[in-house]
Copies of this chain bind each other. A is one copy, B any other.
């Protein structure tokens, strides 16, 4: 049993005090050595480091966090609005989360993920912040919690939010210029000959509302009829039916659809085909996000691209700045129209 010999040979060293005893110094010195402070003699430091490595010792983050009053952990919270189920697996949020994880890691932070349902728990944000477990928080999506977030922002600086920017708001937000995105989409639809536009998706969430408003801006400017909102949920199973319903009812009276999301656009494409409507000939379609799926639909989706990686970088950059005490402005990223074949 070579392995177990190996294991028992090393005295078990869990605490900095154990290690100090082994090294024949005081715990304080070990702490300083491991923290890489310059106040400790090079020789002792090396000895301590060697011992630490040999015994696979790692300082307890809880204790360290408690004493230093910082944890090295950033909270990431996803508030789920009305549309509880499934939203977290929405591709866009997940991709953003992935990039966020990357970005935080490279800056030496860990990520604590929490999904919350604000309706069940009015206290969701305070509770997270007040837990003492996180140094700062990234809120992914304002959902229908704009006011709550504003209130919290007044008393807590270490927060950055992904979402829509509104004139005069008090919380620091990073997000795409959704209204502009909506305009780009509508302009494209109209340039292709569409006259009676529809917006596919729930107009409740701020980001979607802004996209819708952008499209409406353009329709109004061009003297076209109002853009018709077609409400749907986001989860694929419910959305499919809802879309089918909408199309059955309005399919022939609209010739341009702006979908709130590529996911919805893809579903819509399937339903359009099912109802014998051809894209882009009968109906033109523009999505939003430019997720991988946009390239794989048939025909490939014309869409408004959000730069997710840049968003994640922005969130982390701003948050770290705020942790450092700076005051930061919101960051609004430009959307980009990606022309493929549906409009």
Residues of A participating in the B interface, judged by any CB pair closer than 8 Å? 3, 7, 56-58, 60-63, 65-66, 71, 73, 86, 88-89, 91, 94-95, 97-99, 101-102, 105, 110-115, 126-127, 130-133, 154-155, 236, 266-267, 270, 273, 292-293, 295-298
CA distance A101 to B88 in the complex (A): 9
CA distance A77 to B65 in the complex (A): 21
Q: Which residue of B lies closest to A308 (CB)?
A: B89
Assuming the contacts A101-B115, A111-B114, asked whether A91 and B91 have C-beta atoms less than 8 A apart, the reply is yes
Copies in the complex: 2
Assuming the contacts A62-B62, A94-B89, A94-B94, asked whether A112 and B73 have C-beta atoms less than 8 A apart, the reply is yes
CA distance A295 to B236 in the complex (A): 10
Among B57, B63, B101, B155, contact of A66 (Cβ-Cβ < 8 Å): B63
Among B61, B99, B113, contact of A113 (Cβ-Cβ < 8 Å): B113
- Give, as a whole number of angstroms, the nearest-CB distance from A60 to chain B: 4
CA distance A86 to B236 in the complex (A): 23
Chain A interface main SS type: helix
Q: Are A132 and B56 in contact (CB under 8 A)?
A: no
- Give, as a whole number of angstroms, the nearest-CB distance from A31 to chain B: 15
Residues in chain B near residue A270, CB distance under 8 A: 295-296
CA distance A58 to B266 in the complex (A): 45
Among B57, B97, B114, B132, contact of A105 (Cβ-Cβ < 8 Å): B114
- Give, as a whole number of angstroms, the nearest-CB distance from A141 to chain B: 14
Q: Are A95 and B89 in contact (CB under 8 A)?
A: yes
Ordered by A's residue number, 15 sampled pairs between the chains whose C-beta atoms are within 8 Å are A60-B132, A62-B62, A62-B71, A62-B133, A73-B112, A86-B98, A88-B102, A101-B114, A105-B114, A110-B114, A110-B133, A111-B114, A112-B113, A270-B296, A298-B298
Residues in chain B near residue A293, CB distance under 8 A: 293, 296
- Give, as a whole number of angstroms, the nearest-CB distance from A71 to chain B: 7
Residues in chain B near residue A155, CB distance under 8 A: 7
Residues in chain B near residue A99, CB distance under 8 A: 89
- Give, as a whole number of angstroms, the nearest-CB distance from A302 to chain B: 17
